């Protein structure tokens, strides 16, 4: 018996009898911490997925996504812009990777501390768990029971860490011949944690009911008045953005770390606030409405001059003005605060949702049910307004209110409460830095001024005169318009500029302005070499 008693066993082979202790390398402690962290996150992910599957959760993501989400909501907008600028629409992935890396480093440090002072290590590890719990609770719509996964996971991690062999002879953690070798502990712990994370991710990512409801929607298209796209709307210039952007190439911007996967059968949209009567519509109710198709170009307010955070699609939906009319907005209301299933909000001028424009509750994008990333089952699309004040994905509530009383997610973060889209134009080909052959070169791109239309696009080579480009056929005042200029290119380095005029003949602003607070302006310029 005495040979297995921790108190009488030295932790490190070759020590004992008061001889100085040979410390295990520091990375042993780091690995302990990382494996404990993996166990925690893995089990929490699995438990969260199981609870969600049982319908016993507020639909809150596992701790990593919660920490990432809480971080996003607290990030100053310059950092968010930098992330979008650096990682583009991969900013979510970058954030997740960043969260994991930071967490791994913290766990490694805690593990190293635990090797020296077990209690201190355990306390610090528990604190990390608490941060996770706080993050989960801070998510919109969180219920107290949503902390269960993170608490259970943290307990597993603590248990693992508490079995760490200490590096000093005075510590009492069990180790030695009776305990598994460190490599075996790491392997076992890592395997269990990794497998739990994998299965949990698989279970929640798959959200079977949501996928099934989307498949069903795909099989039963809504009846809708079709839109006709004039043949000449797409000039088909090689390398230029297509007139209709396929769904998988469409830019994606939102604050959701994990894409909400809603089951259409469970979806409901409420109209609340300053209305004569609250109304509610569900999926079946919405699908029975007469729908219409419309060509609408979405644009993100964060788009830089020449940037690609804009896309054009055929949207199918029911005019939102009809739903609002059923509710009857009260006099004095001037804003609709839209809310999504993941708690994001935006404030839209009531008038833009009730006038005759094609502001719609969209259910299809380019003939398919909305992709999950783009708001399945239902999102708003409002011609003429930047997405951050209008285009709520996974929409669940429309509160009729006032700008004086309410504000959308981005307003306290430095963005204007109002976001009408500014006239803009972009050169798609040739690209900056390209080399082209002397002779005729097709300079081409897009121009947009949603809900005002584009009346003219001009191109300037170096310091030459502004000359008119040829416009593609006009498909809709709500959609962008392609243009092309047949340039007689001569040898040397050249700057090409573009500017657009909206439907009323107003030129776009040539002044350079940053995206915040209400949209970038300036002239897109590309520099090319002609050989
Ligand atoms: N629920 C939700 N909807 C949202 C957002 C968001 O963060 N959450 N972002 C908005 C912004 S800023 C833009 S530009 C558009 C982008 O729509 P897309 O991702 O389908 O291109 O969605 C809008 N709708
Ligand atoms: Mo946006």
Question: What's 293's domain CATH number?
Answer: 3.90.420.10
* HEC assignment per residue over 191-221: HHHHHHHHHHHHHHHHCHHHHHHHHHHHHCC
- Assess if residue 15 is contained within a domain: no
* Position in ligand 1 atom list of the atom nearest CA 255: 7
Decide if 129 contacts 93 (C-beta within 8 A).
no
pLDDT value at residue 385? 98
SS3 label, residue 453? coil
Based on the domain organization, do 101 and 192 belong to the same domain? yes
What are the structure tokens assigned to 128, written together? Answer: 């990390």
Based on the domain organization, do 403 and 434 belong to the same domain? no
Based on the domain organization, do 517 and 472 belong to the same domain? yes
Distance 396 CA to ligand 2 centre (A): 19
Distance 88 CA to ligand 2 centre (A): 12
The number of beta carbons lying within 10 Å of the beta carbon of residue 255 is 16
Q: Whose CA is nearest to atom 20 of ligand 1?
A: 374
What's the pTM value of the predicted model, to 2 decimals?
A: 0.78
Which position has the higher pLDDT, 490 or 64?
A: 490
Q: What is the CA radius of gyration of the chain?
A: 29
Q: Does the CB atom of residue 267 touch ligand 1 within 6 A?
A: no
Find residue 385's DSSP bridge partners. 420
Count of structural domains, the chain:
3
Distance 425 CA to ligand 1 centre (A): 22
Q: Does the CB atom of residue 392 touch ligand 1 within 6 A?
A: yes
> Peptide bond preceding 236: is omega within 30 degrees of 0, i.e. cis?
no
Which position has the higher pLDDT, 514 or 10?
A: 514
Domain CATH for 499: 2.60.40.650
- Assess if residue 9 is contained within a domain: no
d(CA 394, CA 1): 63
Based on the domain organization, do 391 and 515 belong to the same domain? no
Q: Is the pLDDT of residue 24 over 90?
A: no
* Position in ligand 1 atom list of the atom nearest CA 260: 1
Q: What is the DSSP string of 96-131?
A: HHHHHHHHHHHHHHHHHHHHH-HHHHHHHHHHHHHH
Nearest to 247 by CA among 294, 185, 178, 315: 315
The stretch 408-414 carries a mean pLDDT of 93
Which position has the higher pLDDT, 451 or 17?
A: 451
Which ligand is nearest to the Cα of residue 344, counting in written order? Answer: 1
- Assess if residue 92 is contained within a domain: yes
d(CA 128, CA 151): 11
The stretch 145-167 carries a mean pLDDT of 87
Q: Does the CB atom of residue 250 touch ligand 1 within 6 A?
A: yes
Which position has the higher pLDDT, 212 or 312?
A: 312
| Buried-state track 156-169, b at ≥16 Cβ within 10 A, e below 16 | bbbebbbbbbbbeb
Q: Does the CB atom of residue 388 touch ligand 1 within 6 A?
A: yes
Q: How confident is the model at residue 290 (pLDDT cuts 50, 70, 90)?
A: very high
Residues in CB range of 80: below 8 A, 6 or more apart: 72, 91
Based on the domain organization, do 408 and 445 belong to the same domain? no
Helices (H) and strands (E) in the chain, counts: 11, 20
Distance 303 CA to ligand 1 centre (A): 13
Q: Is the pLDDT of residue 57 over 60?
A: no
Going across the sheet that includes 435-436, the strands are 435-436, 524-530, 492-502, 454-461, 467-468
Mutate to test the pocket of ligand 1, among 253, 260, 364, 415 (most ligand atoms within 8 A of CB): 253
The residue among 365, 384, 413 that closes a domain is 413
- Mean pLDDT value across the chain: 88
- Assess if residue 11 is contained within a domain: no
Q: Whose CA is nearest to atom 4 of ligand 1?
A: 392
Q: Does the CB atom of residue 415 touch ligand 1 within 6 A?
A: no
The residue among 413, 432, 467 that closes a domain is 413
Q: What is the DSSP string of 357-374?
A: S--EEEEEETTEEPPGGG
- Assess if residue 135 is contained within a domain: yes
Which position has the higher pLDDT, 76 or 34?
A: 34
**CA angle in degrees (0–180, nearest 5) for 456-458-464:** 155
Q: Whose CA is nearest to atom 7 of ligand 1?
A: 254
- Assess if residue 419 is contained within a domain: no
pLDDT value at residue 299? 98
Based on the domain organization, do 357 and 446 belong to the same domain? no
| Buried-state track 400-420, b at ≥16 Cβ within 10 A, e below 16 | bbebeebbbbbbebebbbbbb
Q: How confident is the model at residue 106 (pLDDT cuts 50, 70, 90)?
A: very high
Q: Whose CA is nearest to atom 18 of ligand 1?
A: 252
Distance 220 CA to ligand 1 centre (A): 26
Q: What is the DSSP string of 243-273?
A: SSPPGGGS----S-SS-----GGG-EEEEEE
The residue among 392, 413, 434 that closes a domain is 413
- Give the length of the chain: 531
Based on the domain organization, do 43 and 164 belong to the same domain? yes
Distance 231 CA to ligand 1 centre (A): 30
Based on the domain organization, do 401 and 369 belong to the same domain? yes
Q: Whose CA is nearest to atom 5 of ligand 1?
A: 254
Q: Does the CB atom of residue 80 touch ligand 1 within 6 A?
A: no
- Assess if residue 13 is contained within a domain: no
Based on the domain organization, do 153 and 48 belong to the same domain? yes
Based on the domain organization, do 156 and 126 belong to the same domain? yes
Q: Is the pLDDT of residue 13 over 50?
A: no
Nearest to 271 by CA among 397, 407, 405, 401: 397
Nearest to 205 by CA among 363, 390, 49: 49
- Assess if residue 7 is contained within a domain: no
Query: Residue 326 belongs to what domain range?
Result: 224-413
Based on the domain organization, do 464 and 346 belong to the same domain? no
Mutate to test the pocket of ligand 1, among 259, 359, 391 (most ligand atoms within 8 A of CB): 391
Based on the domain organization, do 89 and 230 belong to the same domain? no
């Amino acid at each position: 018996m005495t040979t297995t008693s921790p108190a009488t066993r030295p932790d490190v082979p070759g020590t004992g009898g008061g001889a100085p202790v040979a410390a295990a390398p520091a990375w042993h402690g780091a690995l302990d911490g990382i494996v404990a962290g993996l166990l925690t996150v893995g089990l929490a992910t699995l438990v969260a997925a199981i609870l969600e599957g049982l319908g016993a959760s507020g639909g809150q993501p596992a701790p990593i996504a919660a920490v990432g989400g809480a971080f996003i909501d607290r990030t100053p907008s310059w950092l968010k812009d930098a992330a979008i600028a650096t990682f583009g629409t991969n900013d979510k992935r970058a954030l997740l990777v960043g969260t994991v890396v930071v967490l791994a480093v913290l766990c490694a440090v805690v593990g190293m501390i635990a090797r020296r002072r077990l209690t201190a290590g355990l306390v610090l590890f528990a604190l990390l768990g608490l941060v996770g719990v706080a993050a989960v609770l801070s998510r919109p719509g969180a219920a107290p029971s949503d902390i269960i996964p993170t608490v259970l996971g943290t307990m597993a991690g603590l248990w693992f860490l508490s079995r760490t062999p200490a590096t000093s002879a005075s510590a009492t953690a069990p180790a030695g011949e009776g305990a598994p070798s460190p490599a075996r502990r790491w392997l076992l712990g890592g395997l269990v944690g990794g497998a739990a994370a994998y299965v949990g991710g698989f279970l929640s990512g798959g959200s079977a009911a949501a996928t099934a409801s989307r498949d069903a929607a795909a099989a039963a298209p809504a009846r809708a008045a079709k839109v006709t796209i004039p043949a000449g709307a797409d000039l088909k210039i090689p390398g230029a953005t297509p007139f209709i952007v396929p769904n998988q190439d469409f830019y994606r911007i939102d604050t959701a770390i994990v894409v909400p996967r809603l089951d259409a059968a469970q979806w409901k949209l409420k109209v609340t606030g300053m209305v004569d009567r609250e109304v509610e519509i569900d999926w079946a109710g919405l699908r029975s409405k007469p729908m219409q198709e419309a060509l609408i170009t979405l644009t993100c307010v964060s788009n830089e001059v020449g940037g690609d955070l804009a896309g054009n699609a055929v949207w199918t939906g029911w005019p939102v003005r009809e739903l609002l009319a059923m509710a009857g907005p009260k006099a004095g209301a001037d804003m609709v605060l839209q809310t999504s299933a993941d708690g994001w909000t935006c404030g839209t001028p009531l008038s833009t949702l009730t006038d005759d424009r094609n502001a719609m509750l969209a259910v299809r994008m380019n003939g398919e049910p909305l992709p999950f990333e783009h708001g399945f089952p239902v999102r708003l699309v409002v011609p003429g307004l930047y997405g951050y004040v209008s285009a709520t994905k996974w929409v669940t509530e429309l509160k009729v209110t006032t700008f004086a009383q309410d504000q959308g997610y981005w307003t306290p973060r430095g963005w204007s409460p109002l976001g009408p889209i500014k006239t803009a134009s972009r050169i798609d080909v040739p690209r900056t830095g390209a080399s082209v052959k002397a002779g005729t070169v097709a300079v081409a791109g897009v121009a947009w001024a949603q809900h005002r239309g584009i009346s003219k696009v001009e191109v300037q080579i170096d310091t030459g005169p502004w000359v008119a480009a040829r416009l593609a056929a006009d498909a809709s005042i709500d959609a962008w318009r392609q243009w092309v200029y047949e340039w007689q290119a001569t040898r040397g380095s050249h700057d090409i500029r573009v500017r657009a005029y909206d439907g009323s003949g107003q030129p776009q602003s040539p002044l350079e302005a940053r995206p915040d607070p209400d949209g970038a302006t300036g002239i897109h310029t590309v520099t090319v070499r002609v050989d």
